[in-house]
Structure 1
C-alpha cells in the first residue's frame, strides 16, 4: 500500500517553485488589468471592487477550518474563470468586468505571496508561510 507523507504548509512550495507561482500571479494580474482596460471598464468600479474578495476573510470568525474554506472560495481562480466563460459565451459585460477584477485581485495576492490557506491557520498558505 502506498503511504503519503504529509508536507507541512511552510515546506509546500520552496524556493524556485514559490517564485514561479508568484510570477504566475503577477502575469495573471497584469493580463486581467489589460483585459479590463481593453473592455473599457470603469476604473472607479475597479477601485471599489478590487479588495472585495478579502471580505472572505470574515470566515475566520468561525475558526481556522471554516475560515480557510471560505477564504479559498474567494481566492481560487475557479470562480472568476467560470464567470468569465459565462460572460464571454453570453456577451455579459458586467460579468466580464467582475471576472477580470476578481482575477486581478487573486493575481496580485499571489504575486505578493498570499496563497490559498490551509486549515492550520491564516498564515499557512500554498505559497509558504506568510
Structure 2
C-alpha cells in the first residue's frame, strides 16, 4: 500500500467521522452538504496569481482554523462554532481523500499529496 493510498484512507475515514459526528449531534444534514464546499471560495485568491492564490487557498484548507474554532467553542459555547468547525474539517478531509492537498505556489495542480 502506497503512502498516498494510506493518506486517502485516513482522510476518508476522518471525513466519515466528521459526517457521523455532525449527524450524531443533531445538526441538520442539509446544512452539512449545503456548506461543505464553502471553503473552496478561497480559490478566488488565484485571481491575484499562483503565489497569492496558493497562500489564500492553503489558509482555507489547513486544519488550524477549524481546530481553533473547536477550542473557542469549548471556552465560549457558542453553538454555531461547532457545526462550522465540523463542516470545515470535513471539507479538508474530503479534499485530501480526493487527492487535493495544500497548494504549492508554482501552479494550482501541484499539491502536497500529488500533481493533479
State the TM bucket, normalised to the shorter chain. over 0.9
For residues 84 and 23 of structure 1, what CA distance do their matches in structure 2 show? Answer: 24
For residues 96 and 89 of structure 2, what CA distance do their matches in structure 1 show? Answer: 11
Q: Higher relative contact order by CA 8 Å / sep ≥ 6: 1 or 2? A: 1
Give CA-to-partner distance per residue, 1:33-67, whole Å, 9 cap, x none: 11111111112221221100000011000000000
Is 1:71 matched with 2:57? yes
Write out the 4+ residue segments of structure 1 that deviate beyond 4 Å after TM superposition. Answer: none
For residues 60 and 121 of structure 1, what CA distance do their matches in structure 2 show? Answer: 10
The Cα RMSD (Å) is 1.2
Alignment of 1:86-101 (within 5 A): 86-101=72-87
For residues 17 and 115 of structure 1, what CA distance do their matches in structure 2 show? Answer: 14
Question: TM-score normalized by structure 1?
Answer: 0.84
Give CA-to-partner distance per residue, 1:3-55, whole Å, 9 cap, x none: xxxxxxxxxxxx71211221221122111111111111112221221100000
TM-aligned CA deviation for residue 117 of structure 1: 0.3
The one of 39, 42, 51 equivalent to 1:53 is 39
For residues 99 and 25 of structure 1, what CA distance do their matches in structure 2 show? Answer: 16
TM-aligned CA deviation for residue 73 of structure 1: 0.6
Is the partner of 1:58 in helix, strand or coil? helix
Alignment of 1:1-130 (within 5 A): 16-130=2-116
How many residues get paired? 116
* Greater strand share, structure number: 1
Pick the structure with greater CA Rg: 1
